[in-house]
């Protein structure tokens, strides 16, 4: 996992490989859970727009927000 993200971190979406979501670059959310399997990590996020959706690291891109 490139990003050293942890539960409770605030993140900002850069890119998501999902055409069905309403999320767009710049959207923010809070990390709720992290599941690691082999080369991929699922980062579950409660997004500020009300959506709850996991990002797949390293495919989806996000930055940790320092507030």
What CATH number did the domain enclosing 22 receive? 2.40.50
Q: How many domains are contained in the chain?
A: 1
pLDDT tens for 23-54 read: 999 999 999 999 988 788 999 999 999 999 99
* Helix, strand, coil content of the chain in percent (nearest 5): 0, 50, 50
- What percentage of the chain reaches a pLDDT higher than 90? 78
57 or 26: which leads in pLDDT = 26
CB 11 within 8 A of CB 31: yes
47-67: average pLDDT: 93
Tokens 């690291």 belong to: 57
Q: Is the pLDDT of residue 2 over 80?
A: no
Look at residue 59 and tell me if it is in a domain. Answer: yes
With H, G, I as helix, E, B as strand and everything else as coil, classify residue 47. strand
Domain assignment present for residue 14? The answer is yes
Q: Is residue 50 part of a domain?
A: yes
């Amino acid at each position: 996992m490139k990003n050293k993200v942890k539960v409770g971190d605030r993140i900002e979406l850069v890119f998501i490989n999902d055409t069905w979501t309403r999320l767009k670059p710049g959207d923010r959310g809070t990390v709720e859970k992290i599941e690691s399997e082999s080369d991929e990590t699922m980062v579950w996020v409660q997004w500020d727009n009300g959506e709850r959706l996991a990002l797949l690291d390293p495919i989806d891109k996000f930055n940790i927000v320092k507030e």
